[in-house]
Amino acid sequence: MRIGELARRTGVSERSLRYYEQQGLLVAERTPGGQREYPEQAVDRVIRIQELFAAGLHSKKIAQLLPCMRDADGGPSAVATPRLVADLVAERDRIDRMITELVNSRDVLDDVINAAAQSRG
Amino acid sequence: MRIGELARRTGVSERSLRYYEQQGLLVAERTPGGQREYPEQAVDRVIRIQELFAAGLHSKKIAQLLPCMRDADGGPSAVATPRLVADLVAERDRIDRMITELVNSRDVLDDVINAAAQSRG
DNA sequence: GTAGAAGCTAACATCAATGTCAGGTTCAAG
DNA sequence: CTTGAACCTGACATTGATGTTAGCTTCTAC
């Protein structure tokens, strides 16, 4: 598929898809005319990338991580170096703390929302 | 307490604490000499603010939300306007999606970490 | 009163993904 | 062939919390 369809199907802007490619997160074939041509699998990959960005990882770390990820198709995956593993453990712990904070914040919002609902019957 | 202690106890920089005040998120008494003096309660409040920032709320929305939050001391709290409630519901839903994404990302990291551990015995 | 730590304001810098625009090229359908 | 939609590269802008620095003032302990 071409970039417009991938953008539509993932909800990620064309600008960002080109940026991902520039950062080495996403590869694309090119048509003879130079336009990007993505495989079906790109949809999942872009969604993963988006999630990792949302989790606060920087593109450089995502680039290191991606080859080690088991894809849905179960393709061969590289093994993370000890150095990378240490980084990933730190990231995972940070994400865990982040999740805790997010749950707290959601509960706070729920509390305010419910209080307002109740105060109006 | 003064700003240095508050910073130390919350893990939030002095710079950020002053910024919070400028954004109307945090109030402080002033000594005759003009230095900020915070009540004990400020510690909890700063942590809440930090969590809300981590949840992706902007300072303007936090400023609207804060008066409606039930503090730990159970003080009187304002009731959110219907307009604000609508905003908060949207934020809560966004946070819910964010949590889902974060859990996905954490699982991906765990997977890579475990695969590396296992491949080395 | 004095020295050093801690605080104040104000201004400028940073980061990193994403938005946007300009000027040109390719693709697909009539 | 032509036309309009879709795509290309490259450059510049934005965002918003936070870092950093400078120059000055206040506080605290001696």
Least confident of A1-10, B48-57, B75-84, B108-117: B75-84
Give the predicted TM-score (pTM) of the model.
Answer: 0.89
- CB contacts, 8 Å: B119 with chain A: 79
Per-residue HEC secondary structure of chain B comes to: CCHHHHHHHHCCCHHHHHHHHHCCCCCCEECCCCCEECCCCHHHHHHHHHHHHHCCCCHHHHHHHHHHCCCCCCCCCCCCCHHHHHHHHHHHHHHHHHHHHHHHHHHHHHHHHHHHHHHCC
Over residues B14-42, mean pLDDT:
96
Task: For residue B114, give both structure tokens.
Answer: 């475990």
- Return d(Cα B13, Cα B21) in angstroms, integer: 13
- Return d(Cα B69, Cα A108) in angstroms, integer: 7
Q: Which of strand C's nucleotides are less than 7 A from any protein C-beta?
A: 6-9, 16-20, 25-27
CB contact under 8 A, A65 and B98: no
What is the nearest nucleotide to B50, using C1' and CA? D17
Please give the single-letter amino acid code of residue B4: G
Enumerate chain B positions whose Cβ falls within 8 A of a Cβ in A.
Answer: 48, 50-52, 54-55, 57, 65, 68-70, 77, 79-80, 82, 84-85, 88-89, 91-92, 95-96, 98-99, 101-106, 108-113, 115-117, 119
B75 pLDDT more than 90: no
Please give the single-letter amino acid code of residue B97: R
Model pLDDT for residues B88-121, shown as the tens digit of each residue: 999 999 999 999 999 999 999 999 999 999 988 7
Element (H, E) at A63: helix A59-65
Over residues B12-20, mean pLDDT:
97
Model pLDDT for residues A61-93, shown as the tens digit of each residue: 999 999 999 876 666 788 999 999 999 999 999
Please give the single-letter amino acid code of residue B43: V
